[in-house]
C-alpha cells in the first residue's frame, strides 16, 4: 500500500511541485519573514517532517469527493426545499458557485505551496503567525465538535436500524473504530474514505439515473410528472424569491469539507498534482451531485409534501417504488456520517500537527510514530469528540452540547474569507515579483474581490437572521479569543527574539 520508509523518496516532476510564489515564509518564533521554501515551517516538505506520503491518487480523488458530498446533502436538503420550493436549485447553484470560486483560490495557493497546514500555513505566511494560529485552532476546534456530532448522529441512525443497540453505545463503537483506523496508517484512513466516498457516489449516481428515467417517463410503472411539480404548486419560487438567500446560508454549510483535500495533499506522493486534479473536478461534482439530485427531487415531488421535508431522497425513492427506501437511505446516511467522522479525525489531527510544527501548538502534537501517524494529535481529536458526545448523552442538559455546536457554526465562512484574503495578498506579491502562478484564480482581481464581498454579505445575513445570530456571535467570540492569544504569543516571541540579539 505504501512505500517503505527506508526507500528513497522520488522527487516530483517540475510541473507537480512548482516553486512557491512567496520569497519568504514565516518564522514560527517571531512571525517575521525568513527566507525559505514551502512545506512545513521548518522548511521541509511534509514527507520529511514525520508524516508519510501514503495516500494514493485514487484515494485523493475520493477524499475530494467525500469532502464535497456529506450527510448535509441527504439530510439538510429537505429543509432547503421546503423553505424555498423548486427555487432551491438556485440556492444550491449560488452557494455552489461561491464554493467553486473559493476552491479555485485555494488551488492557486496550494499548488504553488502544498502544505499539511493548508490555509493556516498561508495565513501565517501572509499576515503573521497570529492569523495562522487563530484560523488553525478555530478550524481544528470546529472539527473536534463535528467528530462528536457525527458520532451522535451515527449512533442514533444505528439505533434506528438495530433498536437493540443503545444509541450511545453505537456512537462509542463508531468513534472507536474510526479512531483506530486513523491510528494505523494514513493509508488506512485513505482506504476507509475511498470506500465511504464510493458508496456515496454510487448511491447518488443511481438515484439521479432512476430519477431521470422517471422524469422522462421511461421507468416502468411511473408516469412523467412534466413540469407539474416545478411550476404547478405556487410557481418556481412559491415562497418568494427572497427565500433563496436565507437558503444559501444553509447550503454553504453543506459544502463544508471541500477543503480537506488540500490538507491531505501533504501526504500524497505528488501533492501539487493531486490538489490540482481534485479541486479542478470540484465543479463537476457540485453540478452533478447537488444540482442534479435536487433537480430530480423537485421535479418528481411537490416541494411541500411532508415526506420531502423529512427525508427527500427516501420520499423520491418511495415514489419510484423502490422497496425499503427508508432503510436504504438510513444506511447511506450512516455511511456519509462515518465518512465525515473519519475526515474530521484526520483533518483536525493534521491541522493540530501543522500548528505544532510551527510552534503554535504544544510540541507534543508534532510527534509521529514509525508509520508517520501523529498519534497524540489523533488521540486529542478523538478525546474532544468523545467529550462532545458525552455532553449530549451524559451532561444532564443540552446546554453544553448546544454551545459547542453554536460556537462553531460560522467557522466555514471565516475560513473561506481567510483563503480569499491570502490569495489576494499572495497574488499581489507575485505580480510585483513578475511571477505567474501555475494555477490562477479566474478574472483576478475582480472575482477575488467579488468572493470577499459575497462572504461579507453572508456574515451580514447571518447577523440579521434570528435563527443564526447566536451561532454567529458565539463563533466570532471564539475567533476573537483565538486571535487575541495569537497576537500576544507573536508579540512575546518578537520581544524574546530581540532580547536574544
- Per-residue model confidence as pLDDT tens digits over 153-162: 999 999 999 9
pLDDT beyond 80 at 324: yes
Which residues have CB under 8 Å from 164's CB, separation 6+? Answer: none
Give residue 49's pLDDT: 57
Is residue 38 within 8 Å of residue 20, measured between CB atoms?
A: yes
Q: pLDDT grade, residue 44 (50/70/90)?
A: very low
- CA distances (Å), 285 to each of 39, 143, 212, 251, in order? 28, 23, 17, 15
Higher pLDDT, 434 or 57: 434
pTM summary value: 0.85
Distance CA 22, CA 24 (A): 5
Q: pLDDT grade, residue 86 (50/70/90)?
A: very high
CB crowding 271-295: b at 16 or more within 10 Å, else e: bbbbbbbbbeebbebbeebbebbbb
User: Maximum CA pair distance of the chain?
Assistant: 82
If we measure between CA atoms, which residue out of 482, 147, 117 comes closest to residue 340? 147
Give residue 494's pLDDT: 84
CA 395 to chain centroid: 28
Across 247-276, average pLDDT: 82
Give residue 73's pLDDT: 79
Is residue 420 within 8 Å of residue 412, measured between CB atoms?
A: no
Q: pLDDT grade, residue 8 (50/70/90)?
A: very low
If we measure between CA atoms, which residue out of 421, 437, 429 comes closest to residue 120? 421
Across 339-350, average pLDDT: 92
Is residue 313 within 8 Å of residue 207, measured between CB atoms?
A: yes
Higher pLDDT, 396 or 62: 62
pLDDT beyond 90 at 122: yes
- Rounded to a whole number, what is the distance in angstroms from the first to the last CA of the chain? 49
Distance CA 408, CA 132 (A): 17
Give residue 15's pLDDT: 34
Which residues have CB under 8 Å from 57's CB, separation 6+? Answer: 268, 269, 274, 277
Give residue 151's pLDDT: 92
If we measure between CA atoms, which residue out of 260, 254, 264, 201 comes closest to residue 67? 260
Length of the chain, in residues = 501
Give residue 10's pLDDT: 35
Give residue 201's pLDDT: 87
Give residue 36's pLDDT: 33
Which residues have CB under 8 Å from 386's CB, separation 6+? Answer: 148, 172, 175
Query: Residue 34 forms beta bridges with which residues?
Result: 25
- 352-356 contacts, C-beta under 8 A, 24 or more apart: 352/140, 352/377, 352/380, 352/381, 353/51, 353/116, 353/377, 354/40, 354/115, 354/116, 354/117, 354/118, 354/120, 354/121, 354/136, 355/117, 355/120, 355/132, 355/133, 355/136, 355/137, 355/140
Distance CA 139, CA 128 (A): 17
Q: 343 — phi, psi (to 5°)?
A: -65, -35
- Mapped to the 3 state alphabet, what secondary structure does 285-296 carry? HHHHHHHHHHHH
Distance CA 295, CA 90 (A): 10
| DSSP annotation string for 488-500 | HHHHHHHHHHHHH
Distance CA 447, CA 101 (A): 8
Give residue 325's pLDDT: 87
Distance CA 202, CA 198 (A): 6
- HSE of 154 in the Cβ direction (CA atoms, 13 Å)? 28
Across 330-345, average pLDDT: 91
Q: pLDDT grade, residue 16 (50/70/90)?
A: very low
Grid cell, residue 484, equals 487575541
> What is the pairing mode between strands 24-26 and 33-35?
antiparallel
Grid cell, residue 412, equals 466555514
Instruction: For residue range 432-476, list pLDDT tens digits in order.
Output: 999 999 899 999 999 999 999 999 999 998 898 888 889 999 999
Cis peptide before 453 (omega within 30 of 0): no
Across 240-265, average pLDDT: 84
Across 71-81, average pLDDT: 83
Higher pLDDT, 134 or 30: 134
> For the purposes of burial, counting CB atoms within 10 Å of the CB of 173, is it exposed (0-12), middle (13-18) or buried (19 or more)?
middle
Distance CA 357, CA 21 (A): 21
Rounded to the nearest 10 degrees, how much is the dihedral formed by the CA atoms of 198, 200, 204, 205? 0
Supply the mean pLDDT for the chain: 84
Amino acid at each position: 500500500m505504501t512505500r517503505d520508509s527506508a526507500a528513497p523518496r522520488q522527487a516530483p516532476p517540475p510541473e507537480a511541485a512548482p516553486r512557491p510564489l512567496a520569497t519568504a515564509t514565516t518564522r514560527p518564533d517571531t512571525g517575521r519573514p525568513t527566507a525559505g521554501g514551502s512545506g512545513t515551517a521548518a522548511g521541509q516538505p511534509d514527507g520529511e517532517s514525520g508524516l508519510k506520503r501514503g495516500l494514493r491518487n485514487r484515494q485523493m480523488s475520493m477524499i475530494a469527493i467525500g469532502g464535497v458530498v456529506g450527510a448535509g446533502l441527504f439530510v439538510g436538503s429537505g429543509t432547503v426545499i421546503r423553505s424555498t420550493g423548486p427555487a432551491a436549485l438556485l440556492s444550491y447553484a449560488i452557494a455552489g458557485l461561491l464554493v467553486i470560486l473559493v476552491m479555485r483560490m485555494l488551488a492557486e495557493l496550494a499548488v504553488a505551496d502544498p502544505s499539511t497546514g493548508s490555509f493556516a500555513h498561508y495565513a501565517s505566511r501572509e499576515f503573521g503567525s497570529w492569523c495562522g494560529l487563530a484560523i488553525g485552532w478555530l478550524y481544528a476546534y470546529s472539527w473536534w465538535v463535528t467528530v462528536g456530532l457525527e458520532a451522535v448522529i451515527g449512533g442514533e441512525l444505528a439505533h434506528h436500524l438495530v433498536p437493540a443497540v443503545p444509541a450511545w453505545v453505537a456512537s462509542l463503537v463508531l468513534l472507536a473504530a474510526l479512531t483506530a483506523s486513523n491510528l494505523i496508517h494514513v493509508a488506512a484512513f485513505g482506504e476507509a474514505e475511498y470506500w465511504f466516498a464510493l458508496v456515496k457516489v454510487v448511491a447518488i449516481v443511481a438515484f439521479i439515473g432512476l430519477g431521470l428515467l422517471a422524469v422522462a417517463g421511461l421507468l416502468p410503472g411511473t408516469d412523467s410528472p412534466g413540469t407539474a411539480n416545478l411550476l404547478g404548486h405556487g410557481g418556481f419560487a412559491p415562497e418568494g424569491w427572497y427565500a433563496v438567500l436565507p437558503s444559501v446560508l444553509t447550503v454553504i454549510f453543506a459544502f463544508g469539507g471541500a477543503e480537506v483535500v488540500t490538507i491531505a495533499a501533504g501526504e500524497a506522493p505528488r501533492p501539487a498534482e493531486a490538489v490540482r486534479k481534485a479541486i479542478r473536478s470540484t465543479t463537476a461534482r457540485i453540478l452533478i451531485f447537488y444540482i442534479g439530485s435536487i433537480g430530480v427531487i423537485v421535479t418528481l415531488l411537490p416541494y411541500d409534501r411532508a415526506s420531502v421535508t423529512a427525508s427527500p431522497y427516501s420520499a423520491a425513492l418511495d415514489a419510484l417504488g423502490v422497496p425499503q427506501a427508508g432503510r436504504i437511505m438510513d444506511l447511506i446516511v450512516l455511511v456519509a456520517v462515518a465518512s465525515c467522522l473519519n475526515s474530521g479525525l484526520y483533518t483536525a489531527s493534521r491541522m493540530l500537527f501543522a500548528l505544532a510544527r510551527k510552534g503554535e501548538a504544544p510540541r507534543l502534537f508534532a510527534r509521529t510514530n514509525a508509520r508517520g501517524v501523529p498519534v497524540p494529535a489523533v488521540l486529542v481529536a478523538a478525546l474532544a469528540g468523545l467529550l462532545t458526545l458525552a455532553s449530549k448523552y451524559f451532561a444532564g442538559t443540552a446546554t453544553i452540547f448546544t454551545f459547542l455546536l453554536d460556537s462553531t457554526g460560522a467557522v466555514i465562512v471565516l475560513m473561506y474569507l481567510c483563503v480569499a484574503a491570502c490569495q489576494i495578498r499572495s497574488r499581489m506579491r507575485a505580480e510585483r515579483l513578475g511571477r505567474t502562478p501555475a494555477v490562477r484564480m479566474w478574472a483576478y482581481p475582480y472575482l477575488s474581490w467579488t468572493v470577499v464581498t459575497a462572504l461579507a454579505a453572508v456574515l451580514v445575513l447571518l447577523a440579521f437572521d434570528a435563527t443564526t445570530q447566536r451561532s454567529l456571535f458565539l463563533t466570532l467570540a471564539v475567533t476573537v479569543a483565538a486571535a487575541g492569544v495569537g497576537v500576544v504569543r507573536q508579540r512575546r516571541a518578537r520581544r524574546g527574539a530581540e532580547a536574544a540579539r
